[in-house]
Amino acid sequence: MRKLNAACGLAALALLGLVACAPGAHSAGDGPWFARLGPPDAPVKLFYEEEGSGPPVLLIHGFGASTYTWRGIAPELAQDHRVIAVDLKGFGQSDKPFDTRYSVFDQAELLAQLIVDRDLHDLTLVGHSFGGGVAWCFR
């Protein structure tokens, strides 16, 4: 387990240098939606956008980015997929609590709850930069 944790951490660090995304406005859609996740004593509200129907695809942005990262690709994917783009904890329109739970593992734990809550089966994860490290934790 230590090797997996170390490898996941190293993968996330390596991916951090690849991001160059600017924040901005969210695309128009049927949303926005928020999910309250995390422990009962400290729930976190995550923002996400959802569009389309078909096999689900969860888009996970990189460090310093948001759902805005996916503005160009999400509409194309939504033509034949159920596309969910999420703002990770601490980014975009999601909560930004003053705690230390921001690692790829912490983010993956929150997304695992979102996956269960949204009843996502046969899910494809797409992660960019830090989001790739979060996605990698699901393997």
CATH number at residue 47: 3.40.50.1820
Do residues 87 and 111 lie in contact, with contact meaning Cβ atoms separated by under 8 Å?
Answer: no
Length of the chain: 139
> In sequence order, what are the residues at sequence separation of 6 or more whose Cβ sits closer than 8 angstroms to the Cβ of residue 88?
46, 60, 61, 94, 107, 110, 111, 130, 131, 134
Query: What number is the average pLDDT over the span 75-83?
Result: 98
Q: Is residue 26 part of a domain?
A: no
pLDDT of residue 33: 74
Taking only the tens place, the pLDDT of each residue in 6-65 is 444 434 333 332 332 323 333 334 556 777 776 767 788 999 999 999 999 999 999 999
Q: Is residue 126 part of a domain?
A: yes
Q: Is residue 23 part of a domain?
A: no
pLDDT of residue 15: 35
Taking only the tens place, the pLDDT of each residue in 90-117 is 999 999 999 999 999 999 999 999 999 9
Q: Is residue 127 part of a domain?
A: yes
- Residue 42 half-sphere exposure toward CB, CA atoms < 13 A: 8
Q: Is residue 24 part of a domain?
A: no
Q: Is residue 40 part of a domain?
A: yes
Query: What number is the average pLDDT over the span 76-101?
Result: 96
- Measured distance CA(57)–CA(17) in Å, rounded: 24
Q: Is residue 25 part of a domain?
A: no
Number of folded domains that form the chain:
1
- Measured distance CA(40)–CA(136) in Å, rounded: 26
Host domain of residue 90: 2-18+31-136
